[in-house]
Structure 1
């Protein structure tokens, strides 16, 4: 695994004979399918509420459980990747993770639904395996770009389900299934697709460019870590890992929270219809096609110019810009200006995510999986805490607004509630933006040894400049 000769030094997307490129495509598609299934129930929640009789508390609890399951799964899966390799880990995650996705189509009670959502959240750990697999398939000159692109394209699954799941449901209905239960069949189909992808992953990828972990260990080409637990403890003691944990909470975590609350905010603040607001939020999510890749690309570019310190400096700058854009957006009352700063936030937050994982592979090359798991879990922890902040502020403001306008009629009460919610969330966004800027400054504390800098510089000198193209080529 230490041999760099077989790692891909380019990202030539049509070179499917190359194991790194083939793995890049398969892991990106697997990640897309996992996110598609993870958030697949979201477009059907009105149907689920009606079908199962969910209370508002049960609905919120299902959302929290889905995120909670992912935190623990990401922490665990990284360590398993270091030990057993990404190929087997992804195969088992896809096949076993598909089971609760399929079972949710058969639930009959709210409790059964909540249990399924908890276990469906485990497939969110797919992000960690994708980042681990691309990290060991690509050379230092291109690894940031490869990581960011695979993650960005995989993340599209979380937005594509807004369009894809209703289309699947429509197809199911065309075969005579009742509208109100089409969501059940749609989730079953999504689960079956994930299970099939697990089989594809097993047969068409391998752990490293040189072969699978098991065969490499048996051949003596990969050291067996006798002190595996000590290695993991050393990861936990590395302050840089926890800074990146907070950084990912401030980037991916904030993206999840902002997009999860943006529909209502745009309606309450600018008077948009639900359909228009939803389409705008979806379009921002689709920026993952290119924005996250840009973060990885510039991380690699700064790494080439200024070494590992350059990667950190770029992460600092782009994270600070993300926080500034969100804070300015929160203060904007003009719709046109609001959209401009929201676009700027979308681009910078996704670039910050890509830049984060252009740094991760260089913290400890013997524990990339464990580190990726911890950092990835940070995103979900950040989303959870930010959601609690916005929910608490908004709930209190809306309750007070309704109480103050109880005698003014239903329309006046709705208007007051919308204004209160808008003000509370705006204040929350401003606070979150400030937190992100402060987090950006903490990244400057990330240091690398002279030996690390020297080793990476030597590796870069042996490979070509990073290349991304669509032309057939052999590495």
Structure 2
């Protein structure tokens, strides 16, 4: 049983697992975003135009939605140690492909495949949930998510300097390849340094693979319904890749992808039904039941928190430049630094969101964070060129605090739904964050920034109402040992 102490500066027991696991997440995000700070140099090296640059950026997230679902299943079946180590090692291969690509097509394929490493986040959610008790899991998951997520910012700050240090026209290639080597080496380190559970604890696995188990017919239909937006987002991505100046796919190729996406959807629905039909044919004891509405509501909560963060971080530097360039003479570099303030707060706010959930209740904390981000986005819609820049940045950081805190609050609850399916639940919730990013960025293409912020605020209010239906985790969850005995896991 994990101890009740929480010493962040310790490197033994559960704290060792936390530090090694957030570092695995950190490295996966360095690899996932290693292209962004070097994109202009890469484009110049390979003679890419603006449309091709946008295509590469879009391809980087295309595979992450289905990857998070798949990784969630794999981590529940094989355990975090093997899954994270394998993902880091496998992710180094397309990283090396990207580093030494000699054409746009090779670059695009490598970037598309690298989207899979963005699913690494899901693995650590299960690992941390195994090692920390309910009273500490929010803070631990917040540190894991917040510190690991900083890998994207670290890539932005360090990789240009690394490329300059290597020097020459191929400096960017060696910088990118270095991140792949980091992932490959750390895959070995992680495998030999962690265990899936504390000594004496059982790693519970789903009874059947391929889909989440539910405990009522109503939950089965809700589960099927909640898979629909995942495939809709993939359809939207395909549409964006086959239309306008960023068109990479021909109409025929896009048609094939549409058909494949919805064929997989049909097969997924059949698998969900197959996995659960037998289970639901007999009465499920009350202690083994859980409510799928918990998963569905957290899907929506991460849709608005992390989904809006993905979209806003992408557009904020340009938004600040266009808003204040003429009126106050802001430069592109300054706008980039100001835009980075939204993501930087993640280091502190996400752990704080988890800690507040542990301390004051998960439903209450999540409600406050979503109400705060709705207010913050509405405030950001009121920014004009005449605003003092410090005031605009202060409002942006305040909004970001609620957004990142909300992310922490979501994953403070995820490990407390059903232990043996934590990976699958985290995968689905995490995928909804990417769905939100895709949808909000698509909306941005058709509206002004002010309208964009108002739309996000409006969606947040709807999600806030949905959150009122979530149940506060309390009592115990039941899992069955291999010998048939029941283990009760404390939830509060």
Q: TM-score, normalised by structure 1?
A: 0.81
Q: Residue 186 of structure 2 corresponds to which residue in structure 1? A: 197
Q: Secondary structure at 1:359's aligned position in 2?
A: helix
Change (3 A) 1:181 1:259: same
CA shift, 1:231, in A, is 4.6
Identify the match of residue 170 of structure 2 among 175, 178, 181. 181
Identify the match of residue 342 of structure 2 among 281, 284, 287. 284
Give the structure with the higher percent helix: 1
Identify the match of residue 232 of structure 1 among 206, 213, 216. 213
Conservation of the 8 A alpha-carbon contact between 1:88 and 1:202: yes
Q: Residue 372 of structure 2 corresponds to which residue in structure 1? A: 321
Q: Residue 436 of structure 1 corresponds to which residue in structure 2? A: 460
Q: Secondary structure at 2:155's aligned position in 1?
A: helix
Q: Residue 8 of structure 2 corresponds to which residue in structure 1? A: 13
The 4+ residue runs of structure 1 with deviation greater than 6 A are 453-458
Change (3 A) 1:453 1:105: closer
Separation in 2, partners of 1:329, 1:16: 41
Q: Residue 124 of structure 2 corresponds to which residue in structure 1? A: 130
Q: Secondary structure at 1:204's aligned position in 2?
A: coil
Identify the match of residue 267 of structure 1 among 310, 314, 321. 321
- Is structure 2 residue 373 aligned with structure 1 residue 373? no
CA shift, 1:8, in A, is 3.8
Change (3 A) 1:161 1:226: closer
Q: Residue 115 of structure 2 corresponds to which residue in structure 1? A: 121
Change (3 A) 1:449 1:162: closer
Identify the match of residue 449 of structure 2 among 410, 417, 425. 425
Separation in 1, partners of 2:205, 2:317: 50
CA shift, 1:14, in A, is 2.8
Q: Which runs of 5+ in 1 are unaligned?
A: 1-5, 304-310, 394-423, 462-475
Q: Which has the higher contact order (CA 8 A, sep 6+)?
A: 1
Q: Residue 270 of structure 2 corresponds to which residue in structure 1? A: none
Separation in 2, partners of 1:231, 1:166: 42
Separation in 2, partners of 1:264, 1:26: 35
Q: Secondary structure at 2:4's aligned position in 1?
A: coil
Q: Secondary structure at 1:357's aligned position in 2?
A: helix
Separation in 1, partners of 2:21, 2:199: 17
Q: Residue 357 of structure 1 corresponds to which residue in structure 2? A: 411
Separation in 2, partners of 1:314, 1:264: 32
Separation in 2, partners of 1:96, 1:65: 18
- Is structure 2 residue 150 aligned with structure 1 residue 169? no
Q: Secondary structure at 1:169's aligned position in 2?
A: helix
Separation in 1, partners of 2:76, 2:478: 25
| Cα deviation 1:358-407 (Å, max 9, x = unaligned) | 111112222111000000111111101111111233xxxxxxxxxxxxxx
CA shift, 1:282, in A, is 2.5
CA shift, 1:70, in A, is 1.0
CA shift, 1:228, in A, is 4.1
Q: TM-score, normalised by structure 2?
A: 0.78
Conservation of the 8 A alpha-carbon contact between 1:324 and 1:437: no
CA shift, 1:323, in A, is 1.5
RMSD: 2.3
Q: Which runs of 5+ in 2 are unaligned?
A: 224-291, 480-486
Q: Secondary structure at 2:312's aligned position in 1?
A: helix
